[in-house]
Amino acid sequence: MDELDRNILGLLGADARMSVATLARRMKVARSTVQARLERLETTGVIAGYTLKLGENARQGRLRASVLLTIEPRAQAAILTRLKAIAEIEKVFTTSGRYDLLLQIAAPSTQVLDQVLDQIGALTGVVSSESLIHLSTKFDRAV
């Protein structure tokens, strides 16, 4: 990946709907060059897809939280299977350090969030959990 590829990714990160012609114009290169680069980035898996990023107005009704889990050794596979069944869990990351898993959760209310946290805590193999409720977003670089 070179500077041109990074520029394409940067522009698409800001606006995934930007046309190939507009990308080419902004980068001052031929449209065919941008098209070929995009095809290569997609084929090699650098670009996995194009998606919709919800704005703050659409996310206002959602309460977000991160949950840190410590789990029993060799329980990860079974716990991940059960976590996949909980719709409010958006992402699960493995981590290094004191905790084994980091969960990203979005719920429509504190009541639902409380139920989800109880559900997670009751899973066989979960030793402990720590919940962090997200209050406000200061900036977001995620694409």
Same domain, 19 and 72: no
Same domain, 35 and 70: no
Q: What is the CATH number of the domain that holds 119?
A: 3.30.70.920
Q: Token pair 């992402």 is at which residue? A: 91
pLDDT in tens, 3-49: 999 999 989 988 889 999 999 999 999 999 999 999 999 999 999 98
Same domain, 114 and 85: yes
Query: Looking at the domain assignment, is residue 140 inside a domain?
Result: no
Of 41, 39, 95, nearest in space to 66 by CA: 95
Same domain, 37 and 75: no
pLDDT in tens, 42-92: 999 999 988 777 666 666 678 999 999 999 989 999 999 999 999 999 999
C-alpha of 123 from chain center: 24
Residue 19 per-residue DSSP state: -
**How far apart are alpha carbons 111 and 87 in whole angstroms?**
15
pTM, 2 dp: 0.64
Query: Looking at the domain assignment, is residue 142 inside a domain?
Result: no
Same domain, 78 and 117: yes
Same domain, 115 and 70: yes
* CB contact at 8 A, 83 and 126: no
Same domain, 61 and 37: no
